[in-house]
Structure formats: C-alpha cells, structure tokens
C-alpha cells in the first residue's frame, strides 16, 4: 500500500499532497515538513530509499523519492510494495505529467493542482497502484479532459443562445 504521495519543492513548499490515510491538516503539514527535512539533506548520489519518518506509520514504512530539478516526488509505502517498482512508478508519473503538460515545470503543478490530482488518480487509487501503462493513463486523462471541454462548450453555447433570445425579446419590445 502507498500511504502518501507528496510533491514539494527544494524549499519544502508543498506542491501536491495526497494522503491515503486520514490525518488532520496540521499533522499533514508536519509530515510534509518532516519528510522534506529527511529528504532534503541527502546528497544527490545516494540511494532513493529512506527509512520512514516517525509520523507516517513508523518503521514499517519507507520513503521512496526522486528529485527532479526543483521538485521532490516522495512516495511513502509499506513493505508490500516493491521498492524498485515504486521508483519506476515515480518515473512514469513524472513522464505522464510531462506529456500532459508538455514539458512540465514546477509552475504547471502550482497552477493546475486539480489536474495533477486527476492524473494521479488514474495511476494510484486509494493507495493501490491502478495503472502503470503510461499510454493508457494518458488516454483516460485526455478522454476526461475532452468531456470537460465539451461541457464547457455546451455551456457557452447555451449562454450564446440565451443572449440571442434575450436580445430578440428586447428588440421585439422596442418595436
């Protein structure tokens, strides 16, 4: 099981957090701070695994992270997950983000938190890995994006027709 997925930047500012167990907002922030503290002091060329922090689950859990430019992607997992598998999953996640945002950068994540969540939801569900095939993930994300777009288009269409009818009513009044 994956217990939490955190994205924060080099200064520890959270960019996305997804907890698969309930914590209060304060504890969540504490966990993010603690995790950042643990992860940030590690050198670049050391291993990507870390004995879990004290807050999430304790000794049974592991932090598996990757550092990309300004962002840390941290997965907190228990012993049932394969360490190398999760590392691959992080890679898939980041590549998917890259495809969906076209050259993803930190700003994309900041301004489109909901989209990041939606992409993640196609990969991990309730702490369990749902899909690891990148093209499948992208297909589903795009299909949902299309749906959203068509809905907003319909809305616009209705708006337009309303405006027209209003206008015609208005003109009929005048005449």
Partner 1 sequence: MALKIVKGSIDRMFDKNLQDLVRGIRNHKEDEAKYISTCIDEIKQELKQDNIAVKANAVCKLTYLQMLGYDVSWAAFNIVEVMSSSKFTYKRIGYLAASQCFHEGTDVIMLTTNQIRKDLSSPNQYDTGVALTGLSCFVTPDLARDLANDIMTLMSHTKPYIRKKAVLIMYKVFLKYPESLRPAFPRLKEKLEDPDPGVQSAAVNVICELARRNPKNYLSLAPLFFKLMTSSTNNWVLIKIIKLFGALTPLEPRLGKKLIEPLTNLIHSTSAMSLLYECVNTVIAVLISLSSGMPNHSASIQLCVQKLRILIEDSDQNLKYLGLLAMSKILKTHPKSVQSHKDLILQCLDDKDESIRLRALDLLYGMVSKKNLMEIVKKLMLHVDKAEGTTYRDELLTKIIDICSQSNYQYITNFEWYISILVELTRLEGTRHGHLIASQMLDVAIRVKAIRGFAVAQMATLLDNAHLLTGNTQRNGICEVLYAAAWICGEFSEHLEDPMQTLEAMLRPKVATLPGHIQAVYVQNAAKLFATVLQKHEGETDSQAAQETSQLLIDRLPLFVQSANLEVQERASCILQLVKYIQKLQQKNVEVAEEVTALFAGELNPVAPKAQKKVPIPEGLDLDAWINEPPSESESEDEKPKVVFAKEEPKHYRSRHTEVDEKELARRREVRKQEQANNPFYIKASPSSQKVYDAPGVEHIPVVQIDLSVPLKVPGMPMSDQYLKLEEERRQKEKAERKKKEKKKKREKRGKGRKADSGPESEEDITPAHQVDIVTEEMPENALPSDDDDKDPNDPHKALDIDLDKPLADSEKLPVRTHRPEVLKSPAEDRDSKSVPQETKKKSSKEKKEKKKDKEKDRKRSKEEKKKKKKHKEVEEELLESQPEEAVQSEETKEAAAPPTSTSAEEVTAPSSAAAVDTSSAAAPESEPDEPKDTEPEDTKSSKHKKKKQKKEKEEKEKKKKKRHHHHHHHGDAGGEDSVQNGTVEEEEPLPPMSNYSLLAENSYIKMMKEDAEQVYDIQGNHQDESKVVVSVIFENKSDSFLKSMEFNVLDSLNSKLQRPEGAGPHDGLTVPFQLPPGVSNEARFVFSVQSIVMPQKLKGTLTFIVKSDESSTHEKLDFKLHFTCTSYLITTPCYSDAYAKLLESGDLKGSSLRLEGINMPFHHLLARICFHHHFSVVERIDSCASMYSRSIQGHHVCLLVKTSDQTVSIDAKCDEPSLLGNVLDEIKQTFSKC
Residues binding partner 1 (CB under 8 A): 1, 14, 16-18, 20, 22, 24-26, 28-29, 42-43, 45-51, 80, 82-85, 87-88, 110-114, 117-118, 121, 125-133, 136, 140, 143-144, 147-148, 150-152, 154-156, 158-159, 162-163
SS3 at position 46: coil
CB contact burial 49-70 (16+ within 10 A = b; e otherwise): ebebbebbbeeebbbbbbebee
Instruction: Check: CB of residue 3 under 8 Å from CB of residue 57.
Output: yes
CB of 99 to partner 1, least distance (A): 19
**Residue 111: which residues within 8 A CB-CB, separation 6 or more?**
none
Report in angstroms how near the CB of residue 60 gets to partner 1 at its nearest.
12
Three-state SS across 94-114? HHHHHHHHCCCCHHHHHHCHH
- Residue 126 Cβ, how far from partner 1 at the closest point, in Å? 3
**Residue 106 CB, nearest approach to partner 1 (Å):** 12
Closer by beta carbon to partner 1, 99 or else 140 = 140
If the CB atoms of residues 10 and 156 are measured against partner 1, the closer one turns out to be: 156
């Amino acid at each position: 099981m994956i217990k939490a997925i955190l994205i924060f930047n080099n200064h520890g500012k959270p960019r996305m957090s997804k907890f698969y167990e309930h914590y209060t907002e304060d504890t969540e922030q504490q966990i993010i701070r603690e995790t950042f503290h643990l992860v940030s002091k590690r050198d670049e060329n050391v291993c990507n695994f870390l004995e879990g922090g004290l807050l999430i689950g304790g000794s049974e859990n592991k932090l598996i992270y990757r550092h990309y430019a300004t962002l840390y992607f941290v997965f907190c997992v228990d012993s049932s997950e394969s360490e190398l598998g999760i590392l691959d999953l992080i890679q898939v996640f980041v590549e998917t983000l890259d495809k969906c945002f076209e050259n993803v950068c930190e700003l994309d994540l900041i301004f489109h938190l909901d989209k990041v969540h939606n992409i993640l939801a196609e990969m991990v569900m309730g702490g369990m890995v749902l899909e690891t095939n990148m093209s499948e993930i992208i297909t589903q994300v795009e299909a949902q994006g299309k749906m959203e777009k068509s809905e907003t288009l319909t809305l616009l269409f209705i708006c337009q027709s309303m405006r027209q009818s209003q206008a015609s009513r208005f003109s009929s009044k005048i005449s």
